[in-house]
Amino acid sequence: MFRIGLGVAACLVVLGGCAQRGQGIIMATPPPPPSRLAPEVSLPLDIKQYADNPCSMLKQGQPVTKDLAAGVNEGGNTCTWRAKTPQQPQMTATIDLVSGGLEGLYGKRTRLPYFEPTDIQNYPAVRYDADRAVPDQGRCTVSVGVAEDALLTVTTTIADSRTLNYPVPCPDAELLANAIISDITRS
């Protein structure tokens, strides 16, 4: 019986040490801040300078877009390279400065059927799809954390289901993301 009493007393001492006294009541210590979900961006890129002219992120004549129509600014922060034939991918690159960067995307990961972390040139990235559990059927989206508050989001869409890359379109999106990051880092 004495051992039980000592055990209870020890627990009360330990629990008492975890609380703070304030105005006559015992208040629990607040929980620690939530931990970070996304990997940190160790070498941020200044992508904000391209927000008004996203097509300028990629220099003319890059091999990844050589068979596509020239990039066209689509509504401010998106550049689109249209396919000349149904077998070629249509590609878009969007500068996202409002969604909270990669941390914001990681916060939505449980609502996305497909979410796969990856990296593009040592920048943390995510392949994801808001509709399907796999990036197939000619469409893939890759978001690259280029700064803590900025994403470079590249989407590739292939119209012809007989095209070789139709079932695995992510390499096309990653090629464009690689080319853009290479051009920005060389600028």
**Shared-domain flag, residues 91 and 15:** no
More confident residue, 45 or 165: 45
For residue 40, is it within any domain? Answer: no
Same-domain check for residues 18 and 65:
no
The mean pLDDT of the chain is 84
Same domain, 15 and 92: no
SS (H, E, C) 56-114: HHCCCCCHHHCCECCCEECCCCEEEECECCCCCEEEEEEEECCCCHHHHHHHCHHHCCE
Same domain for 71 and 135, yes or no, is yes
Give SS3 for 2. Answer: helix
154 and 115 in one domain? yes
Residue 23 maps to a domain = yes
d(CA 140, CA 109): 16
The band of 142, judged by pLDDT with boundaries at 50, 70 and 90, is very high
Looking at the structure, tell me whether residues 2 and 88 fall in a common domain.
Answer: no
Counting the structural domains of the chain, the total is 2
Is residue 12 assigned to a domain? Answer: yes
Q: Do 97 and 54 lie in a common domain? A: yes
Mean pLDDT within 153-180: 92
CATH code for the domain of 148: 3.40.1000.10
Are residues 58 and 25 part of one domain? no
Residue 12 pLDDT > 90: no
Residues 27 and 77 in one domain: no
Is the same domain home to 100 and 177? yes
* Residue whose pair of structure tokens reads 């994801």 in the numeric block: 128
**Do 22 and 52 fall within a single domain?**
no
Asked if 102 contacts 80 with a C-beta cutoff of 8 angstroms, the reply is: no
Q: What range does the domain containing 18 cover?
A: 1-31
**Mean pLDDT, rounded, for 26-30:** 62
My answer on whether 7 and 95 are in the same domain is no
80-136, pLDDT tens digit by residue? 999 888 888 999 999 999 999 999 999 999 999 999 999 999 999 999 998 888 877
